[in-house]
Amino acid sequence: MSVIDSSAATVAIPVQRTVGASLPGSLEAREVSAWFGDHKVLERVSLGMPSGQVTSLIGPSGCGKSTFLRILNRMHELIPGASLGGEVLLDGADVYAPDRRLTDARRRIGMVFQKPNPFPAMSIYDNVTAGLKLTGIRASRTEKDRLVEECLTKAGLWIEVRDRLKQPGGALSGGQQQRLCIARSLAVRPQVLLMDEPCSALDPTSTRRIEETIRELVADVTIVIVTHNMQQAARVSDQCAFFLAAQGVPGGIVEYGPTEAMFGAPQDPRTADYVNGRFG
């Protein structure tokens, strides 16, 4: 098992590409462990996240779900003092391989955060296309116009903003901003989209729209979502992984399987207790 230290992380110069479609990718974590300094937070976590499906990561706070999510697209290594071991494979290729560019991993495995983070002074249009320059993707104005409409449509936002694309992204409501961030992530054609509690700061109406968007997107991109909302996990995910950490023991996966089975007939009593609200 290889160990990667954040102090050795480098950012490669992106290669110029043109806009093009991609297929959902299969993601696999093999014996992933993680540390913050000397504190170990994950212990040999292995998990398959199938192509074209939604995998939800559930469990109480502090069990390593968000850390695991950040490891999947190489964000963990940017935290000072952070390190990790194990492998993360995208379609069978290790995203931490020495010849794999950091920018390529981020393009192929996108991230939507808990709090919407559009560029507030940047227009809605420019928010969507912002990732193209950062990842070295070239596009003509016509291609950008088409891409903006396509991605905003997939994110369920096009009808609401098509007449005000030049207005600042920061002027949108919280739910609209989160869907704008989803559109921005989709613009670079990721194969996997990671979501870290994307609805926790939103009202019920916005949450429902984001959940609808997730189910609509899964035909185009594999989704891995961290959520503390058990009803949400049951509604949106195909597969479910239950993380747990005991006192003084790093987090790990207790049980993993089809969401229907995890909620209807869990094999571990701790899973049953958690999904039925008896702790966490």
- Mean pLDDT is lowest, of 96-105, 232-241, 269-278, for 96-105
Write down the residue that tokens 């995208």 correspond to.
Answer: 90
pLDDT of residue 21: 58
Beta bridge partners of 3: 85
Q: Tell me the per-residue pLDDT of 70-81, one tens digit each, with 9 for 90 and over.
A: 999 999 988 999
DSSP structure class, residue 161: H
pLDDT band for position 11 (cuts 50, 70, 90): very low
Give the tokens for residue 168: 């600042």
pLDDT of residue 278: 85
As a whole number, mean pLDDT of residues 110-127 equals: 93
- Give me the percent of the chain exceeding a pLDDT of 90: 73
pLDDT of residue 20: 57
Contact 115, 201 (CB under 8 A): yes
Q: How many CA atoms lie within 13 A of 13 on its CB side?
A: 1
CB neighbour list of residue 163: distance below 8 Å, 6 or more residues apart: none
Q: Which domains does the chain have, with CATH numbers?
A: 3-8+21-275 (3.40.50.300)
Beta bridge partners of 29: 47, 88
pTM comes to 0.88
pLDDT of residue 23: 82
Report the mean per-residue pLDDT for the chain. Answer: 89
Cα-flanking dihedrals φ and ψ of residue 265, to 5°?
Answer: -150, 60
Count of CB atoms situated within 10 Å of the CB of 198: 28
Q: Tell me the per-residue pLDDT of 151-180, one tens digit each, with 9 for 90 and over.
A: 999 999 999 999 999 999 999 999 999 999
Alpha-carbon distance of 159 to 144, in angstroms, equals 18
Where is pLDDT greater, at 134 or 90? 90
pLDDT of residue 19: 56
Write down the residue that tokens 């597969």 correspond to.
Answer: 239
